[in-house]
Amino acid sequence: MEFTPDTAREKEVAAAVDQPPGKMAARPAKGPRLPPEINRLVGRAMHRYQMLADGDRVMVAVSGGIDSLVLGRLLALWRDKAPIDYELLAVHLDMGFAGYLPPPEWGNDPRDTSSAPLPTTATAVAAQLQKIGLPYYMEETTYGPEALAAEGGKNGCYHCASRRRARLFELAREKGCNKLAMGHHREDIIETFFLNLLYGGNLSTMVPNQHLFEGRLQLIRPLALLDKTMVRQLGELFQVEAVSNPCPLTNRSRRHRIRQLLHTITGDDPRLEANIFAALGNVRPDYLL
């Protein structure tokens, strides 16, 4: 199955990775060997949750953070050694913060960079994807500022994330992709459980392989069994650099507060975090209300 550029911008992107328009990018040269433990955990996740199959067309959601950039490079590297073949297309949605100036009532701390106009993310993300060698599609949106306006600057994360997720689903359909890969890792899954517990009043979290729209799309999370330290290790190995998140609520969100809470609970003991993660797959319904 081919990735067919249907706009001038997509033709420009195809050229950026040295491919004729209408073709997926050539596979990057074989990269570095994965550390044994990381290789084992990725392989376990791929096999246990049946994430990839021959002929898949995988859209990789790339925010610009180290997690999603590592995911893109990892999937390209994994394809080189897997007994199956699949296609990759990275997609980045610019949230529209370029030039946005948060209102002064959000804080007057001179060290707070949110008091200055915010940058765009597309150019920096494109540079990283070109380094990786993946074909990509960029789209500018206004989701960020509109979400902040909807919440009066207090917490627009839900609105922003919901619209971004819906657009990614639409793009997967438009580009003919049957898999949508996201870079969530073990800590993200744990944090989501506590977010849903404390703010949603339910016991749930993100799952490694989720079937959507009657099976027409699968949302996969190949990094699900890796912790953040391992993801950072891969970032150094792959020589990719995270793009700064311009959202002024980055350190004021509910997820950020949950992250601080979990640090208080677990401290520096990795066993406690591992036990929380294991508990998500060891549910005893008979001992719940």
Q: Is the pLDDT of residue 114 over 80?
A: no
Tell me the C-alpha distance between 12 and 256, whole Å.
37
The rounded distance, in Å, linking the Cα atoms of 173 and 175 is 6
Dist. CA 54–CA 174, nearest whole Å: 21
Q: Which of 184-193, 221-230, 260-269 has the lowest mean pLDDT?
A: 260-269
Q: Mind giving me the DSSP string for 182-225?
A: ----HHHHHHHHHHIIIII-S-----SEEEETTTTEEEE-TTTT
When the pLDDT of each residue in the chain is averaged and rounded to a whole number, the result is 85
Q: At what angle do helices 143-150 and 157-174 cross, to 10 degrees?
A: 150
> For the segment 68-103, what is each residue's pLDDT rounded down to a tens digit?
999 999 999 999 989 999 999 999 999 988 777 766
Residue range 227-281, pLDDT digits in tens:
999 999 999 999 999 998 888 777 878 999 999 999 999 997 889 999 999 999 9
Q: Is pLDDT of 2 > 90?
A: no
Burial label for 116, CB within 10 Å (0-12, 13-18, 19+), is exposed
Lowest mean pLDDT among 49-53, 58-62, 115-119, 205-209: 115-119
**Cβ-contact 223, 67 below 8 angstroms:** yes
Which residues make Cβ contacts (< 8 Å) with residue 64, sequence separation at least 6? Answer: 92, 121, 124, 125, 128, 242, 243, 244, 245
List phi, psi (to 5°) of 201: 70, 30
Say what the pTM is: 0.85
